[in-house]
Structure 1
C-alpha cells in the first residue's frame, strides 16, 4: 500500500491537478497548448538530449533488455490491430491507429518519474536505453504501416512510401533531441569537452520538462474525455496495461534479465499509452475518439496496474 502513496500518487497528483484546473476553467485551453508546446518541443527534447549525451552506450544498449520490451510492444500492436479488424470490423486505417495505441507506451512522462521514485535516479539507465529507440523505432513502424495501408491500390512505389515515413519521423522534436544527444555522446567519447555552464543551462531546462509535461497532460486529458467505443477502448487498455508488460516480464525471465533491467523494462511497458498515440491518430484523422479516450482511461487505470507490477517486481 505504501507504494501507492509514496511512488504512484505524487506523479498522478500532478496530472490530476492539471485536469482539475482545466475542468474548472482556471487554466485555459490556449494555456494548455502553450505549456505542452514548450514541454514537447523544447523541454522534453532537451531532457532527452542530456540523457542520451551522458548514457553509457557500451553497457546499456543490451539485447536482453530491449528484446523483451519491444517484443511485448509489437505483440500488443498485432493484438490491437487484429481485434480492431476481426472483432470490431473497423476500417483499415482505424486498425493501424488502434494497433499503434496499444503499441506506444508513455515511457517518458510516466515511466521515468515512476521508476525514479520507486528505485532512485541510478535505476534509470535502462529506461533511457529503451527511450532512445522508442520514438524513432515505433514512429517509423507506425507511419510505415499507415502509409502502406493508405497506398494500397495506388501507384506509389515502396521507396516513396518509405521516404515519406522516414521524413515524418526525422521531423519529430523528440527524435531530434535523441539523435543530437547520441551524436554529442559520440563526440564526447572522441574528446569533445563542453563547458560546465552549457550543461547547467541544459539541466535547468531539463528539470522543467517532466513537471510541466505532466501538468499539461492533465489539461490535455480533460479535453479528450471518453465518448463511446468503450469495448474497443477496453481492448486497448488490456493490451497496453496487461499484455505488453506480461510478455516483457516473461521474456525477461527467459533472457535472464538482471533485476535493474527487469524493473526498467517491465515498469516502462506497464505505462498507459502516451498522448503521442492521439497525435498519431489526429495526423491521419482515424480512430481519434478511441485513441484520446484510451489515453485517458488507461492513464487512470495504470495507477492500479503499476501498483501491481511494483508488488511483483523484485
Structure 2
C-alpha cells in the first residue's frame, strides 16, 4: 500500500502546490486561469493527438470500453438523483446536478497525468478512447436531463431540438480537445509515423501537459471551496469515489476488458469530480454550491480513493 501511495501522492501534491501558490498570494489567481487555458487549448489537445496517432489498438473495438464505463455512470447518476429527491427533498434540477457531480470524472486535468503515471501507454490509449466521447455524452445527458427537470419544477415550455442541437454543436466545435482527438484519429488512419523535429516538439509539449494540468487545477480550487449543501455533497462524494469505480470494475470485468484497460477505467472513475459539474450548474443557475463543495471534497479525498483502487488493482 505504501508503494502505491508513493506513486499516487505526486499527482495530488502538484494539485496542492497549485492551491498553495494562490492561497499564499505567491501567484495571482489570474496566473492559474492563464495556465489552465494553456493546458486546455494546447498541451492536452497535443497529448491526445500524440497518444491516438501513435496508439496500437491491437484490433480492439472500443464499444465494450464505452459500455462498461457509461453503464456505471448511468447507475450512479440514477442513484444520486433518487437519493437527492427522496432523502434530501431537493427539486429536480438540484437532483440532476447531484447526479452530474457524482458521475462526471475529471478525465483531463487529473485522469490523464494519473493514468500516464500509474498504468502507462496502454492506459492512455484506453483513456483517450473514453475522452473521445466522454465530454459530448456527459454534456448531452446533462443538458437534456436538466431541461426536463426545469420543466417539472417550473412548467417551462419545452425548447426545440433544433436550438438544442445548434447550441451543442457550437460548444463542441469550439472545444480544442475535439480537435486533438479528431486530428490524432486521422493521423492514425494515414499510418504515418511522427518523426523528426515535429515529433520532438509534440513530445515536449505532451510532457508538459500532466504537471501543468495538475498545477492549474490546484490554482483554480480557490474559487470553489465549501459553498453549502454539505450532506448532499458528502453523499455525491461517496458515490463518486466509491460506487462509480466499483461499478466500472464490475462492468469492465463482466465485459472482458484487458487488465490495462480495466485499470485505466477504474482509476479514472476514482478521480475527483470534474469542474464541468460546476460549469453545468452555473450555466443552469442551480446547485452551484453543492457542485462546488463536491469538487472540493472529492479532490481532498481523491488521494485516498485513488490509492485504494490502485492498490486493489495491483
TM-score normalised by length of structure 2: 0.89
- Deviations along 1:248-292, one digit per CA (max 9) or x if unpaired, are 111222223332222112111111111222222222222111112
Aligned counterpart, 2:159: 156
Question: Structure 2 regions of 5+ residues with no counterpart?
Answer: none
The residue correspondences of 1:32-47 to structure 2 (distance < 5 A) are: 32-47=32-47
Aligned counterpart, 1:31: 31
- d(CA) in 2 for partners of 1:4, 1:313: 10
Aligned counterpart, 1:165: 168
* Closer, same or farther: CA 53–181 of 1 in aligned 2, 3 Å: same
- Deviations along 1:60-110, one digit per CA (max 9) or x if unpaired, are 443333322111112122222222233323333323222111121112322
RMSD over equivalenced CA pairs, Å: 2.3
* Closer, same or farther: CA 155–20 of 1 in aligned 2, 3 Å: closer
TM-score normalised by length of structure 1: 0.89
Aligned counterpart, 2:110: 110
**How far is 1:32 from its partner?**
1.2
Are 1:140 and 1:169, in contact at CA under 8 Å, matched by a contact in 2? no
- d(CA) in 1 for partners of 2:274, 2:17: 18
- d(CA) in 2 for partners of 1:55, 1:74: 28
- d(CA) in 1 for partners of 2:271, 2:92: 26
The residue correspondences of 1:1-314 to structure 2 (distance < 5 A) are: 1-56=1-56, 59-150=59-150, 153-154=156-157, 156-186=159-189, 188-189=190-191, 196-314=196-314
Higher mean C-alpha displacement, 18-27 vs 253-262:
253-262
- d(CA) in 1 for partners of 2:240, 2:138: 14
Question: Structure 1 regions of 5+ residues with no counterpart?
Answer: none
* Closer, same or farther: CA 3–293 of 1 in aligned 2, 3 Å: farther
Are 1:7 and 1:114, in contact at CA under 8 Å, matched by a contact in 2? no
Count of residue pairs the alignment pairs up: 311
Counterpart secondary structure, 2:226:
coil
* Closer, same or farther: CA 155–146 of 1 in aligned 2, 3 Å: closer
- d(CA) in 2 for partners of 1:219, 1:114: 18
* Closer, same or farther: CA 4–249 of 1 in aligned 2, 3 Å: same
**How far is 1:147 from its partner?**
4.0
Counterpart secondary structure, 2:53:
helix
* Closer, same or farther: CA 162–147 of 1 in aligned 2, 3 Å: farther
**How far is 1:231 from its partner?**
0.6
- Deviations along 1:109-132, one digit per CA (max 9) or x if unpaired, are 222333333333344322222222
- d(CA) in 2 for partners of 1:258, 1:178: 22
Higher mean C-alpha displacement, 126-135 vs 31-40:
126-135
**How far is 1:218 from its partner?**
0.8
- d(CA) in 2 for partners of 1:5, 1:309: 11
